[in-house]
């Protein structure tokens, strides 16, 4: 009667949301400051003042009919040009507004690209740990998601595993660096190796293999970490960018797709993106938020707060004996569980009022995700609980 696969998707309870709801109940029982919720990946730092200023300026001074009116489906031309120019300055690319397609955030960017390039029985490779919604975003294509295990411990790309997984059906590869949930940033060396590997495979199979980069965390990197821009390294790249984390606007749904100027049959690629957006019901990204982006193009929220949280949490947990992946970016700490079963570990953690997310659904059993996009005080207050949890396993 209803589309069965979609009914099923709609009924799956999100594990993260269930933990979050448990946390809210528990806070009501024992007090908010006694529960240490590290489950949700919602930015805890407010949008920069420039975003508020831009909104108010637009509402007060921009013609209302134009401000809130339709833009073209690919987005306002001035906004797209501004993004292209800014990207060219940062990464020495040769983008124009005609390579950019504005979207309702990274989820929309990914779904539009996946529908544009994947057909029934194609395969799309993802590296563990990976955001489980990738499988959902390709549901309408009939293609198959193929997991490739990353290098143990570092969670960089394991090329032996990748080589074993690629075959003539491989149509696309998704990378997510900085990574949710591990915080790992791929090194330039590894990414160059990936580009060379995919070039070889394209030749071997005689068709393009598209690289899709999921980049909501690009700006959230610490110290002098560099996040290479894949359009510079590999021609068949679609960049799926979002301002959700960079500007703390996850609920406003604003981002874009950058289609590499050197993409195979570029015109068809860009047309497929436009057609995909139409077929998925996207008319345009929010016309007002497009213009907010234009005004705030080089801004970010105060990332230093996440860095402070990372340093505090990483240092404290490793000192307590936790095995943590060192996160160069994003706002997650990826922690090996004591004992094999992450669900058992997370239940035990609840006894200490610590709410953590088992990473099984990310394709990496034996790990938990600790979101440090929280108030720094919550981390400080939670340290004795983390210590007690570790001691419980001694």
Give whichever of 245 and 348 is closer to a copy of itself, judged by the CB atom. Answer: 245
Look at strands 170-175 and 123-127 and give their pairing. parallel
Cβ distance to a copy of itself smaller for residue 5 or 89: 5
User: By CB under 8 A, is residue 284 in contact with a copy of itself?
Assistant: yes
Does residue number 283 form part of the binding site for a copy of itself (CB under 8 A)?
A: yes
For the window 355-384, what string marks contact with a copy of itself as x by the rule CB under 8 A?
------------------------------
Tokens 């071997």 found at:
204
Binding mask 339-358 for a copy of itself (x = CB under 8 A): --------------------
Whole-angstrom CA distances from 67 to 58, 276, 292 are 7, 25, 11
User: Which residues 32-91 are close enough to bind a copy of itself by CB under 8 A?
Assistant: 42-47, 52, 55-56, 59-60, 63-65, 67-72
Residue 149 near a copy of itself by CB under 8 A: no
Q: How far apart are CA 97 and CA 322, in angstroms?
A: 47
Q: Is residue 2 involved in binding a copy of itself (CB under 8 A)?
A: yes
Nearest to 108 by CA among 269, 235, 246, 286: 286
Min separation Cβ 322 and a copy of itself, Å: 28
SS (H, E, C) 71-123: CCCCCCHHHHHHHHHHHHHHHCCCCCHHHEEEECHHHHHHHHHHHHHCCCCCE
> Helix (H, G, I), strand (E, B), or coil: what is residue 279?
helix
**222 or 270: CB nearest a copy of itself:** 270
In angstroms, what is the C-alpha Rg of the chain? Answer: 21
Q: Please report whether residue 281 would count as binding a copy of itself according to CB under 8 A.
A: yes
Q: Least Å distance between CB 71 and a copy of itself?
A: 6
**Cα gap 342→352, rounded to integer Å:** 16
Give the binding-site size for a copy of itself (rule: CB under 8 A): 81
Q: How far apart are alpha carbons 88 and 81 in whole angstroms? A: 10
**Looking at 96, 264, 315, 392, which residue binds a copy of itself (CB under 8 A)?**
264
Closer to a copy of itself by Cβ: residue 153 or 281? 281
* Shortest Å, Cβ 81 to a copy of itself: 18
The stretch near a copy of itself (CB under 8 A) out of 147-155, 211-219, 246-254, 326-334 is 246-254
Q: For residue 360, how many other CB atoms are within 10 A of its CB?
A: 17
To a copy of itself, the closest distance from the beta carbon of 29 in angstroms equals 21
76 and 102 Cβ atoms separated by less than 8 Å:
yes
Q: Which of 154, 208, 297, 387 binds a copy of itself (CB under 8 A)?
A: 208
Burial of 171 (0-12, 13-18, 19+ CB in 10 A): buried
Closest CA to 389 of 358, 352, 355, 359: 352
Is residue 112 part of the contact set for a copy of itself (CB under 8 A)? yes
Considering only 278, 343, 391, 393, the residue that binds a copy of itself (CB under 8 A) is 278
Question: Three-state SS for 307?
Answer: helix
Nearer to a copy of itself, 297 or 385 (CB): 297
Contact between 204 and a copy of itself per CB under 8 A: no
Instruction: Check binding of 238 to a copy of itself (CB under 8 A).
Output: no
Q: Which of residues 292-311 bind a copy of itself (CB under 8 A)?
A: none
């Amino acid at each position: 009667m209803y589309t069965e696969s979609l009914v099923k998707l709609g009924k799956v309870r999100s594990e993260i949301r269930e933990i979050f709801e448990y946390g809210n109940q528990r806070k009501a029982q024992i007090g908010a400051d006694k529960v240490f919720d590290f489950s949700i990946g919602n930015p805890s730092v407010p949008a920069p003042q420039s975003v508020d200023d831009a909104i108010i300026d637009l509402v007060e001074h921009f013609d209302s009919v134009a401000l809130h009116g339709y833009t073209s489906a690919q987005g306002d031309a001035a906004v797209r040009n501004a993004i292209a120019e800014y990207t060219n300055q940062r990464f020495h690319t040769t983008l124009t507004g005609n390579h950019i397609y504005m979207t309702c955030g990274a989820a929309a960017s990914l779904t539009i690209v996946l529908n544009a390039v994947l057909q029934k029985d194609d395969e799309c490779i993802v590296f563990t740990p990976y955001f489980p919604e990738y499988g959902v975003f390709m549901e309408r294509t009939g293609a198959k998601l193929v997991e490739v295990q990353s290098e143990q411990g570092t969670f960089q790309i394991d090329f032996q595993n990748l080589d074993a997984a690629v075959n003539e059906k491989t149509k696309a590869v998704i990378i997510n660096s900085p990574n949710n949930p591990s915080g790992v940033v791929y090194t330039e060396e590894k990414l160059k190796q990936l580009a060379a590997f995919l070039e070889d495979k394209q030749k071997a199979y005689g068709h393009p293999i598209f690289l899709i980069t999921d980049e909501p965390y690009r700006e959230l990197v610490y110290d002098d970490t560099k996040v290479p821009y894949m359009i510079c390294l590999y021609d068949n790249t679609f960049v799926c960018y979002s301002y959700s984390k960079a500007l703390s606007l996850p609920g406003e749904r604003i981002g874009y797709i950058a289609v590499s100027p050197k993409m195979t049959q570029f015109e068809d690629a860009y047309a497929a993106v436009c057609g995909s957006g139409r077929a998925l019901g996207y008319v345009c990204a929010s016309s007002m938020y497009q213009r907010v982006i234009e005004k705030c193009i080089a801004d970010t929220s105060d990332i230093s707060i996440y860095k402070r949280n990372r340093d505090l949490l990483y240092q404290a947990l490793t000192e307590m004996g936790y095995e943590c992946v060192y996160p160069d970016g994003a706002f997650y700490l990826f922690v090996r569980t004591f004992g094999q079963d992450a669900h058992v570990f997370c239940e035990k953690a609840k006894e200490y009022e610590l709410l953590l997310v088992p990473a099984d659904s990310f394709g990496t059993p034996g790990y938990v995700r600790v979101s440090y996009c929280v108030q720094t005080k919550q981390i400080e207050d939670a340290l004795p609980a983390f210590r007690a949890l570790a001691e419980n396993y001694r």
